[in-house]
Amino acid sequence: MKLAVPKETAPGERRVALDPSVVTKLTKLGLEVLVQKDAGGSAHFPDDAYGDVRMVDDAGALIGEADIVVRVAPPGVEDVERMKDGATLVGFFHAHKSTDVVKAMQAKKITSFAMELIPRISRAQSMDALSSQAAIGGYKAAIMGADLSCRFFPMLTTAAGTIRPSKVIVIGAGVAGLQAIATARRLGAMVEAYDVRSATKEQVESLGAKFLDLGVKAEGEGGYARELTDEEKQQQQEALAGFISKADVLITTAAIPGRPSPKLIPESMVEGMKPGAVIVDLAAEGGGNCELTKPGETIEHKGVIIHGPLNIPSQVALHASEMYAKNLLNFLSPHIAEGEFKPDWEDEIIAKSCLTHDGEIKHEATRSLVE
Ligand code: NAD
């Protein structure tokens, strides 16, 4: 079977779906891997690093020849229409935002697997691209906070006096938040963190940070948070305001599956922050946790800098691609035998991550949006 790695076409996307080491592993499993020329260039994998694989110049020719296409960013309708009928496509889709792509896949009987639908179960941890890419976001958020801040993170004792360490507050202690905590701690900051899930208290403390108990708990299904009621939101904001006013850097990562980012930081809370304080709003992709965040922009509001970065993993393109490629390898390889990819439909990871197959929309929430 032929597996193709096209160059990503989404604006600003620097990652590539497979790095050279994973291409070698898939070749050893008997797949013929075709790579588009310069596919890995923006992630600093030059064409010659891919060794003996066939490099193809034209994206249309490459995609049209492949039995399996692997991508990072969601495809466009045109990318799907270039594929062979009945071929397989694996990558991120965010299908609720692109029902036209889902319809195009249905029409061409594409078997599609969405990396964001892989269940968060222990056996699937090594395939979990949401986690691998969120960890990069968390790491980079702490670095961005340090960069935008007018203060040092660590305590410094110098001949010119002693500098107190910065106080960093992280809201949302999921995968990204925990990595932000760990990175801010390594940079020497004093870190406090808050989440509505009680299980996070121990995780936050194990990283040497202080857990802020605001008395609002909102455990949802499957280890996720649920949306807060209006009363809980108010209670949370009142309790949070006092802590936030003392923060030098605030990193927000709060998310609820399938919902816009919860608005946790109103304008009044921003105005109560220290001059020169920084907010890094990792939830910008879903609209932001701060009311004033402008996704993709850095603004200043009454002396507070508010940064709303988008697609952070693309900024760490080499390692993000390596991690994503490992996730793809771990997802595909159990189902490759004698150079053929034959998914085991009894496997819950395959069944739950499948978006479309043989003209049908397999993912229920997407089906109800499209039909
Ligand atoms: P996420 O990106 O959905 O959300 C980020 C964090 O925001 C979560 O910790 C959530 O509790 C928090 N949050 C939501 N609303 C909030 C509010 N109003 N105030 C404060 N915090 C709020 O989370 P994620 O990083 O994708 O992790 C979600 C869950 O999945 C966790 O339980 C995590 O342990 C679990 N997980 C499991 C696996 C696995 O077993 N394979 C892998 C990764 C994550």
Q: Give the pair of three-digit tokens for residue 326.
A: 């490992």
Q: Which of 197, 207, 212, 224 to mutate to test the pocket of ligand 1 (most atoms within 8 A of CB)?
A: 224
Q: Is the pLDDT of residue 257 over 80?
A: no
Q: What is the pLDDT of residue 260?
A: 85
Q: Which residue has the tokens 């109103």?
A: 266
Maximum C-alpha span of the chain: 71
The CA angle 363-329-106, to the nearest 5 degrees, is 30
**Active-site residue, from 38, 151, 186, 224:** 224
Q: What is the pLDDT of residue 313?
A: 97
Our answer on whether the CB atom of 265 is closer than 6 Å to any ligand 1 atom is: no
Per the DSSP assignment, residues forming a β-bridge with 91 are 114
Q: What is the pLDDT of residue 193?
A: 98
Q: What is the pLDDT of residue 122?
A: 95
Report how far residue 197's alpha carbon sits from residue 218's, in angstroms, rounded to the nearest whole number.
6
Query: How many other CB atoms sit within 10 Å of the CB of residue 327?
Result: 24
Query: How many other CB atoms sit within 10 Å of the CB of residue 100?
Result: 12
Q: What is the pLDDT of residue 192?
A: 98
Report how far residue 71's alpha carbon sits from residue 8's, in angstroms, rounded to the nearest whole number.
7
Q: Is the pLDDT of residue 213 over 80?
A: yes
**Active-site residue, from 21, 125, 198, 268:** 125
Q: Tell me the per-residue pLDDT of 66-98, one tens digit each, with 9 for 90 and over.
A: 999 999 999 999 999 999 999 999 999 999 889
Q: What is the pLDDT of residue 215?
A: 86
Per the DSSP assignment, residues forming a β-bridge with 306 are 279, 299
- Nearest CA owner, ligand 1 atom 42: 120
Q: What is the pLDDT of residue 162?
A: 97
Q: Tell me the per-residue pLDDT of 270-321, one tens digit each, with 9 for 90 and over.
A: 999 999 999 999 999 999 999 999 999 999 999 999 999 999 999 999 999 9
CA of 255 to the centre of ligand 1 (A): 7
Report how far residue 209's alpha carbon sits from residue 314's, in angstroms, rounded to the nearest whole number.
28
Measured CA to CA in angstroms, residue 255 lies from 151, 202, 209 at distances of 28, 20, 21
Sign of torsion over alpha carbons 359, 363, 368, 369: negative
- Nearest CA owner, ligand 1 atom 3: 255
120 has catalytic annotation: yes
Sequence-ordered list of residues with C-beta below 8 angstroms from that of 221, at least 6 positions apart, any chain: none
- Nearest CA owner, ligand 1 atom 23: 174
Our answer on whether the CB atom of 171 is closer than 6 Å to any ligand 1 atom is: yes
Secondary structure in 3-state letters for 202-271? HHHHHCCCEECCCCCCCECHHHCECCCCHHHHHHHHHHHHHHHCCCCEEEECCCCCCCCCCCCECHHHHH
Report how far residue 245's alpha carbon sits from residue 271's, in angstroms, rounded to the nearest whole number.
9
Our answer on whether the CB atom of 180 is closer than 6 Å to any ligand 1 atom is: no
Strand-pair category, 278-281 with 304-307: parallel
Q: Is the pLDDT of residue 258 over 90?
A: no
Our answer on whether the CB atom of 169 is closer than 6 Å to any ligand 1 atom is: no
CA of 305 to the centre of ligand 1 (A): 26
Residue 220's pLDDT band (cuts 50, 70, 90): confident
Q: Is the pLDDT of residue 173 over 90?
A: yes
Report how far residue 142's alpha carbon sits from residue 165's, in angstroms, rounded to the nearest whole number.
14
Q: Tell me the per-residue pLDDT of 221-249, one tens digit each, with 9 for 90 and over.
A: 878 888 899 999 999 999 999 999 999 99
**Active-site residue, from 14, 19, 106, 128:** 128
Our answer on whether the CB atom of 262 is closer than 6 Å to any ligand 1 atom is: yes
Report how far residue 183's alpha carbon sits from residue 351's, in angstroms, rounded to the nearest whole number.
36
**Active-site residue, from 131, 179, 237, 314:** 131
In the chain, beta strands by DSSP E:
2-5, 32-36, 54-56, 68-70, 88-91, 111-114, 156-158, 161-163, 167-171, 190-194, 210-211, 249-252, 278-281, 298-301, 304-307, 336-337, 340-341, 354-357, 360-361
CA of 160 to the centre of ligand 1 (A): 43
Per the CB < 8 A criterion, the answer to whether 253 and 138 are in contact is yes
Q: Tell me the per-residue pLDDT of 333-370, one tens digit each, with 9 for 90 and over.
A: 999 999 999 999 999 999 999 999 999 999 999 999 88
CA of 176 to the centre of ligand 1 (A): 9
Per the DSSP assignment, residues forming a β-bridge with 55 are 35
128 has catalytic annotation: yes
Q: Which of 139, 197, 204 to mutate to test the pocket of ligand 1 (most atoms within 8 A of CB)?
A: 197
Per the CB < 8 A criterion, the answer to whether 50 and 35 are in contact is yes
125 has catalytic annotation: yes
131 has catalytic annotation: yes
ipTM exceeds 0.90: yes
Our answer on whether the CB atom of 175 is closer than 6 Å to any ligand 1 atom is: yes
Our answer on whether the CB atom of 174 is closer than 6 Å to any ligand 1 atom is: yes
Q: Give the pair of three-digit tokens for residue 347.
A: 């496997």
**Cα within 13 Å of Cα(27), Cβ side:** 16
Over range 166-195, report the average pLDDT: 98
Report how far residue 133's alpha carbon sits from residue 235's, in angstroms, rounded to the nearest whole number.
32
Our answer on whether the CB atom of 322 is closer than 6 Å to any ligand 1 atom is: no
Q: Which residue has the tokens 């002396």?
A: 303
